[in-house]
Structure 1
Amino acid sequence: MIDFGRVQKELQECSKDFEASGIKVSPKADNLARLIGTIPGPIGTPYEGGTFQIDITLPDAYPFQPPKMQFATKVWHPNISSQSGAICLDILKDQWSPALTLKTALLSIQALLSAPEPDDPQDAVVAQQYLKDYQTFVGTARYWTETFAKTSALGVEEKVQRLVEMGFLESLVRTTLDAVGGDENLALEKLCSA
């Protein structure tokens, strides 16, 4: 059985130092077993300036089993599937320890963005590009960050407008978009299930 008391503490811990770390974890709908994590792209990488959403599902045995995490935001990286968002990271598999938290897992994913391991890829095509044509890899990763991980103020207003046109209250739309890090599809899902 999931230790929801611990999950609540972990969510509070992330909220407490959000200003410093930029890392946020919040529930999807009202279910503490389904969460959405947000990490900023590391400075000095092609992911800089992007905000990346990560779907988190807690198994029944959490924290004794690792959380299932995958990128909801499309990202071009050797250790992350460009198709499914699956992440190749040891602490999300056999190196997990109950001493780790959702925040430490998200920090590890953020570190992975800074230091790809192309010799142990999740996405062979990206890894091949990283090894054979690094400049093209950097350009592609930057383009994907610009396209999928950056939300401009105008983009947010357009999303709000589209959701309000579907009949949802503007204040509720803004709160929901904020809770899911600006992901319009997740916001719509959450609004429809409310």
Structure 2
Amino acid sequence: MIDFARVQKELQECGKDVEGSGIRVAPKSDATLARLVGTIPGPIGTPYEGGVFQIDITLPDGYPFEPPKMQFSTKVWHPNISSQSGAICLDILKDQWSPALTLKTALLSVQALLSAPEPDDPQDAVVAKQYLKDYQTFISTARYWTETFAKTSSRGIEEKVQKLVEMGFPEAQARTTLESVGGDENLALEKLCSG
């Protein structure tokens, strides 16, 4: 059985340090805390810098004694993340999980993985091969994917807020909800409708 009291506490802890870490975790809907959305900023000094990456989180019944299931919903070009499904190859999300870890530490580890790819233990063989054989093309491709899939311009956010306001939602609520889901207007709409 999921320890929902602990999940609530973890969400509050994450919320306290959003400005410092840039890491957010929010329920996907108000219906359950077993489905969450995590958001991490791309690490500075990497081809992911400036991007905001969304990660779908599903808590198994055994959480916190079993690791959360995480996968990128934002497309990312990285040897340890599937460019197709967003699956993540990271030991703490498998056999190295410990109940002492939290959703935030797991997301920090995923963010660290963006900084330090491990092409010898790939999730995506095509990306790993490119990383090892043609590093400059890998960097260019990773930057392009970050620009294309992980960056939301402020103009884009304004248009999305306006669209939600036209649907009848208050502007402040639309803006806050959009920010909480990393600018994904479908998730924001889902959240606004279920709230």
TM-score range, shorter chain: over 0.9
Structure 1 distance, partners of 2:20, 2:41, is 11
One-letter code aligned to 1:187? A
Instruction: Indicate the residue corresponding to 1:23 in structure 2.
Output: 23
Instruction: Indicate the residue corresponding to 2:85 in structure 1.
Output: 84
Shift of 1:170: 2.9
Shift of 1:167: 4.1
Q: Which runs of 5+ in 2 are unaligned?
A: none
Structure 2 distance, partners of 1:171, 1:104, is 30
Could you say what secondary structure the match of 1:25 adopts? strand
Structure 2 distance, partners of 1:4, 1:193, is 20
Shift of 1:181: 1.6
8 Å Cα contact 2:24/2:180 also seen in 1: no
Could you say what secondary structure the match of 1:160 adopts? helix
8 Å Cα contact 2:34/2:60 also seen in 1: yes
Higher mean C-alpha displacement, 139-148 vs 175-184: 175-184
Structure 1 distance, partners of 2:151, 2:112, is 19
Scaled by the length of structure 1, the TM-score of the pair is 0.95
Instruction: Indicate the residue corresponding to 1:140 in structure 2.
Output: 141
Could you say what secondary structure the match of 1:29 adopts? coil
Scaled by the length of structure 2, the TM-score of the pair is 0.94
Instruction: Indicate the residue corresponding to 1:129 in structure 2.
Output: 130
Could you say what secondary structure the match of 1:6 adopts? helix
Instruction: Indicate the residue corresponding to 2:179 in structure 1.
Output: 178
Structure 1 distance, partners of 2:16, 2:140, is 35
Shift of 1:128: 1.1
Instruction: Indicate the residue corresponding to 2:120 in structure 1.
Output: 119
Identical pairs, percent: 86
Could you say what secondary structure the match of 1:120 adopts? coil
Structure 2 distance, partners of 1:153, 1:111, is 26
Indicate whether 1:56 and 2:65 are aligned: no
Count of residue pairs the alignment pairs up: 194
1:69-88 alpha-carbon deviations (Å, 9 max, x no partner): 01111111011011111101
Structure 1 distance, partners of 2:171, 2:131, is 43
The 1:193/1:17 distance shift into structure 2, 3 A limit, reads closer
Structure 1 distance, partners of 2:175, 2:18, is 19
RMSD: 1.3
Shift of 1:124: 1.1
Could you say what secondary structure the match of 1:32 adopts? coil
Indicate whether 1:192 and 2:179 are aligned: no
Structure 2 distance, partners of 1:192, 1:11, is 22
Indicate whether 1:107 and 2:108 are aligned: yes
1:5-48 alpha-carbon deviations (Å, 9 max, x no partner): 11111111111122221111111111211111111111110001
